[in-house]
Every structure is written in C-alpha cells, then in structure tokens.
Structure 1
Amino acid sequence: MSTQKSELILVTGANGFLGSHIVHQLLEKGYRVRGTARGPKVALSREIFASYGDKFEVVTVNDTAKDDISEIVRGVDAVIHAAAPLPSHYKGGIEELIQAAVEGALNIIRQAEKGGVKRIIYTSSIVAVFNASGTLGPDDWSTVTTEQAVAGGPFPAYIKAKTEAEKAVWKFAEEHPQTDLTVLNPPYLFGPFAPNFKIPKPDFGALSTNLHFLHFLQKEGRWYPSSPGAADVRDVARIHVEALNSPPQSQVGPKRLPIASPYDANWKEAARFVREAYPELVANGRLVDPSTGPDFPFDKLPVDLERVKEVTGVEPSSYQPWKDTVLGAMADVIRFEKQWIAEGYKVEIPALEDYGF
C-alpha cells in the first residue's frame, strides 16, 4: 500500500457501490478518508474499512440535501460528492423532484466551499449528456424538457432532475471561481463490490445496479437495463481518485468528464459468460437464457474518452474488459445469496421497478 499521500478527502456515500470503491482506492494510495453514511450504515462502513485504522473515519449524514456538515468539512483537503441519490418513487411533481436533486447536489458543495475546500469532484450521470448529436463529449447536454419529463414517466424525469442538478453545480462553480470543480458523468455501473464489502442480510437496494445480475439467477431473465452502455465501477472510482491530482480548471478549462466503457456491453454475451463460468447452476436450471437478452441498437455508448485521458491520465486501454466486469459482479451476487440463505434468510428476487431501475 502506498503512503505517499496524507491529504484528508471527504467522500459522501462511502457505503455505496461506487463510494466504497472510491474510499478503498483512496486508502490504498495512502490518503486519509472521512466518509459519510446514513445512520444505519455508519457501523457497517467502519467494519468494512477497519483494517485501515485511523486512516478512515465515518460520520453520519442522513440527508445530503439538508444536513449541516460545517463541522464535517473542517480540515478537509478535497470533497468527492458521490452520494446524490434521487428517490425511486418520488411522490411530488417534477419541480419538487428537480429541487430535491439540486439541493442534494449543492448542499454539500456549498458548505464545503464555505469551509475553505477548493477541490470538488461531483458525480453526475451520463444521462445529463444524452442528446442526438452522435459522439458524446463534454459540451453535450440532455435536451429533455420539463414537459417531456412530466409526460414521459420516471426515466425522463430522472434525466431532467440530474441535468438540472449538474447545471446548478456548474453555476455555483462559476460564481465561486476559487472552486476547482471536476464533474464525472458515468453510465450504469457494474462489477465486483469493493474488497470486504458487506451486505449482512437481504438488502436489494444495497446491490445497486448489480441487482440486474441477481436476476441472472432466473432462467427467464426478465430484467435487463432499460438502455445500453455501461462502465466498470472500478474504472469510474479510479477516475474519481485520479481527478484529485488533475490540472486546475484555469489550465485545462471546464473539467466535465463523460465516461463509458470503451468495450461492447452486450447482455446476451454477458449471459453466455456467466453460463460458461457456472455450469452447475446451468444444470440446476437457475441461470438466465442468453436469448432473453435485449437487442439494443448499439452495445457501447459513443463517448469520447479523450477528455478523461487529458484531465486524469486514465487511458481507455486500461479499462476493465466487459467479461471481467460481468464475472466480477456475478461472483459477488452469488456469494451474497449463498451467505443470506446460509444464515436462514429467504431470498426472493424482487422486480427491478421496485428499486427505480
């Protein structure tokens, strides 16, 4: 483990799928980390990273949109704001959803800036970049209107809310030029969980987007992502970490980084990978039939990764291959299911729409 760094980095959502990978990679590089988690997850986060001793601490933040974190940012050298969740079943209208997203993004950043933190890394989403222009780059923005979000259901509403939240973050940075902002725009994330990650009992929300792989344990394979494109969670975490040492905006311009795997993420192929790796589950009739996979018009998002390379130094050739992503995710999902059953829990695979997917 490297011990070259001694900076203290605040990571929101330290117990999440992406956040825990960011924390792990920071600790492995010798950074000190102060993570945030919601109340029930605080003790679990301490357990996951206990081997790092006083290099890791975790504090309670139950609501990123409202909580006072003025003491939490004290002494922090940089903030990685990876926790900006949207409710999967929001009860209010589109304006309330947008406001919740904006405040979830800005509250942490606003208080960090007030506390003297200059480096901010914010996790947005590739949906804020989507448009019909072909190759997606840092100048592209979603064109979903409020009217389309209202009429189109949960996914257009999600796109609109994430887009407006990111625009609010950029506006804040423009009004506070001392803030060195980097925004990352990843797609669906898959892959193994961070080392020592724990889900002690069935908690399908904690599986995050890897919940899709739990559905691979059903032959009928009814639940796949609703749109193409993916990235390995380890790669996206690495880009967050490398962004800490990126040149300032004054040298390289706005650091907006759309991300996607440079490899095809084909779900029929993913099912074949899993069936080859687990013949015993095939024999038991448990694994998904590859023919059930979706036929998307493309399997790889047309994202220009040169900006990521320019800002962070992360080469597209270093990204995890799709097969490694798939098998890493599947191994952990199978491990958790076996663990839960061994401890007496009944595991009933839920419908994905119950979790906002």
Structure 2
Amino acid sequence: MPTVLLTGANGFLGSHLARELLTRGYAVRAFVRPGSNRSTLNRLPLTFAQGDIRQPAEVEAAARQCDYIIHAAALAQVNPARSQLSWDVNLSGTENVLYAAHKARAQRLVYVGTANVFGFGSQAQPGNEETPYKGYPYGLDYIDSKYAASQLVTKTSRQWGLPVVSVHPTFMLGPLDARPTSNAMLLELYRGRVPGYTGGGKNYVHVRDVAVATVNALSQGRTGEHYILGNENLSYQEAFRLMAEVMQVKPPRFQIPDWPALTYGHLCDLIARITGKPALINSAMMKVAIDGHYFSVDKARQELDLPATPIRLAIQEAIDWFIKQGYVN
C-alpha cells in the first residue's frame, strides 16, 4: 500500500483529500501542527505526524519512507494584508517540502497553490495557466507569497529533476469547513449580514472536485505542469442570488459602486492603524472584490479528469453541514 504524506491534512481541502486518498487505498500520513483542531479527521484511519511546516527537520522526518507527497498546507490570510507569517508558511514551508520530497525520493509531489497566481480574465475570455500574474497591485502577502512559491516549485523541479505537478484551486465551497474559511460568506449571507455586493466575481468549485483532481495528479498530468482547478465563473450578483436561493434567504439588495467600496476599504485601513487591530476588511480585499477573477479549467478537465459538480450542490452541502454542526440555529 503506497503511503502519501499530506500536509495541511486538517484544513478544509485537506479533510477532503484525506478521505479521497483513503477511498483509493492509499495509506495517509497526516502532517498537522501540534494542538491544532483535528475534528474533521475524527475516526479516519490515518497516521499522524506532528510538526511545523516552517521547520525543515520536522518536515523531512514526516516525509521519510513516503511514496508520494501532497502539499496542501498554506496560510490563506488576507487580513491584515501584510504578514510575514504568510511568507514563512507559504514560501519557506514549500521550500522545506521540496527539499524533503527530494531527500525522500518521492515518486511524485503534488503542490497545491491557488488560481490567483495566474492572471484572471473576463467571463467571455477567462484567464488560464498561461496568463501572466496580475496580483502585485493588490498588496496582499497571501497571493504574492503563493506566487513566489509557485515559481519556486517550477524552478526547483527543473533543477533537481523532481517530479512535481502543481494544482491551483479557485474559490472552494462545500462541507467540512470547520474554521470556517471560504464558506464563511455563506454563513454571513444566511444570517442576513451581506447588504450589498461589488461588481466583481470569481470562479467557484466544489471542494470535493478539487480533492478528486488533486489525487488524480498523483498518477495523471504532466510533471512540471500547472493546472487550474475550478468550475463556474459567476459575478458576485449571480453567486449571491444562487446562494440565497439555495439557502432560502434574501439576496443582497444592491450593487456597491467601485469608488465607495475602495473608500470604505481605505477607511478600514485607517481604523486598523489607529487601533492596532485589523478591521473587518481592508483596501486590498476591496481591490480584489471589484475585479472579476474568472478562469478557464479546460486543461485540468482534459488531463486530470477534473469533475464538474454544480456549485448549487456545493452550497447546499456546505450549509447542511454547518446546520448539522451547530454553526447556525
């Protein structure tokens, strides 16, 4: 039975990756931080390796005698916009995993990035894996650090001959989001706390589809290549209407023009500087929100057999899980 080291195993995507790997007969060594929440991994037949992704020796020890590695650990922090920890986890942590995979002579490493390391496009002409990066103007260390990590993966795999396939999810929705992370917007909408929406949009994908394609990448796809994992390109108006319909709540009432949105973001920056604490949002987040982050996933459909579960189902499964777990009354 081949063994897979899975970093970030107790995260939103990691919880689905663990299940997908077990279903296919892999032995899973789950790399998690000491004391971290493992509730979404309860009762799964996993072997745990505790450690810090920022510590090379701990990553190297976890990778010993592993046949494959899926590196899904990341810090997806966007508030505050600037954070050295994002660089330590996302870039230095990835460097540690690359070295550990090389030393363990892993048969393949699957690196999990983000679609934001590629340039986005319009709904009519979405971005793809060849579209140049457009993230620097936002001033977000999260996406800048993930872009740097993606570049490092490509460079290192070529220099060392390391068999790496990189997958880059878009905005994931679905169950098992214990923190919660990307599904937090569903909870806010369900509670009636989303009065309006900006003019931008995103590509949305069921988290389980991402898990399936990521595990497929252990044996499919071309080494050295990058694949965007997504599904439906929706404007925020379209997405919120769909979410509201599925959850049987009222959708946001109005669109917020760009300039008031950006002004509010800068005001939040000022409040954060005065108080020393992050405000609800920041100007970088608002810059992202007014853009349309639309992507093509044709390459992953063709080479990784990426599924296409309707986003409606992802929303339904997410809110059902939240209700069952007591996140909402």
Normalised by the shorter chain, which TM-score bucket?
0.7 to 0.9
Letter of the structure 2 residue corresponding to residue 140 of structure 1: T
Task: Provide the C-alpha distance between the structure 1 equivalents of 2:66 and 2:305, rounded to a whole number of angstroms.
Answer: 24
In the other structure, the counterpart of 2:295 is 302
Q: 1:28 aligns with which of 19, 23, 30?
A: 23
Tell me which stretches of 4 or more aligned residues in structure 1 moved more than 6 Å: 91-94, 223-226, 293-300
What is the SS of the residue equivalent to 1:69? helix
1:65/1:103 CA distance change after superposition, 3 Å: farther
Aligned: 1:19 with 2:9: no
Q: Which residue does the alignment assign to 2:266? A: none
1: distance between equivalents of 2:94 and 2:172? 20
Alpha-carbon distance between aligned partners in 2 of 1:18 and 1:218, rounded to the nearest angstrom: 24
Instruction: Say whether residues 1:320 and 2:309 are aligned partners.
Output: yes
Q: Distance in 1 between matches of 2:144 and 2:245?
A: 35
State the distance in 2 between where 1:77 and 1:68 align: 17
Aligned in 2, Cα 1:103/1:247: closer, same or farther, shift over 3 Å? Answer: same
Q: Deviations over 1:287-332 (max 9, x none)?
A: 44453688989988231x2321332233xxx411121011111111
What code does the residue aligned with 1:62 have? D
Q: Does 2:237 correspond to 1:245?
A: no
1:333 and 1:223 map into 2 onto residues whose CA distance is 23
- For 1:158, the equivalent position in structure 2 comes to 142
Deviations 1:116-153 (A, max 9, x none): 113000011011012458432222231344xx3xxx44
TM-score by length of 2: 0.77
Residue 84 of structure 1 is matched in structure 2 by 74
Q: For residues 308 and 65 of structure 2, what CA distance do their matches in structure 1 show? A: 33
Counterpart Cα distance in 1 of 2:126 and 2:170? 15
User: What is the CA–CA distance in structure 2 between the aligned matches of 1:13 and 1:113, rounded to whole Å?
Assistant: 19
- Give the aligned residue type for 1:170: T
Is the contact between residue 203 and residue 233 of structure 2 (CA under 8 Å) also seen in structure 1? no
Q: 2:229 aligns with which of 256, 259, 276?
A: 259
Instruction: Decide which of 159, 166, 190 is 2:173's aligned counterpart.
Output: 190
State the TM-score, normalizing by the size of structure 1: 0.72
8 Å CA contact 2:204–2:232 kept in 1: the answer is: no
Cα displacement (A) at 1:101 = 2.9
The residue type equivalent to 1:301 in the other structure is Y
More deviation, 158-167/11-20? 158-167
Q: Find the aligned partners of 2:207 and 2:73 in 1 and give their Cα distance.
A: 14
Whether the aligned pair in 2 keeps the contact of 1:245 and 1:312 (CA below 8 Å) is: no
SS at match of 2:29: strand
Query: What is the aligned counterpart of 2:93 among 104, 108, 111?
Result: 104
Residue of structure 2 in register with 1:139 after alignment: 130
Taking a change above 3 Å as real, the CA distance of residues 132 and 115 of structure 1, as seen in their structure-2 partners, is same
Q: 2:205 aligns with which of 211, 219, 231?
A: 231
Counterpart secondary structure, 1:208 = coil
Q: How many residues align?
A: 292
1:332–1:294 distance in 2 versus 1, CA, 3 Å? farther
Q: After superposition, give the CA deviation of every residue in 1:18-76 in whole Å (9 maximum; x if it has no partner).
A: 00100101101111111111111376466341xx3xxx211112334555222211111
Richer in strand (by share): 2
> Cα gap change, 1:131/1:263 in structure 2, threshold over 3 Å: closer, same or farther?
closer
Give the counterpart letter for 2:247 in structure 1. V
> Does structure 2 retain, via aligned residues, the 8 Å contact 1:9–1:76?
yes
**Which secondary structure state, in structure 2, belongs to the residue aligned with residue 228 of structure 1?**
strand
Which residue is equivalent to 1:281? none
Pick the aligned partner of 1:118 from 95, 98, 107.
Answer: 107
**How many angstroms does 1:336 deviate by?**
2.2
Percent identity, aligned pairs only, is 20
Which residue of structure 1 aligns with residue 280 of structure 2?
none
Deviations 1:230-288 (A, max 9, x none): 11100000001111111553xxxx3210122146462112111210xxxxxxxxxxx44
Change (3 A) 1:86 1:323: closer
Work out which of the residue numbers 3, 13, 24 in structure 2 matches 1:8: 3
CA distance in 1, matches of 2:313, 2:83: 40
Moved more, 123-132 or 8-17: 123-132
Shift in CA distance, 141/45, structure 1 to aligned 2, threshold 3 Å: same
Q: 1:172 matched to which residue of 2?
A: 156
Which residue does 1:348 correspond to in 2?
A: none
Aligned residue runs from structure 1 range 36-75, under 5 A: 36-41=31-36, 44=39, 47-49=42-44, 52=45, 56-64=46-54, 66=56, 68-75=58-65
Letter of the structure 2 residue corresponding to residue 108 of structure 1: V
Question: 1: distance between equivalents of 2:201 and 2:144?
Answer: 16
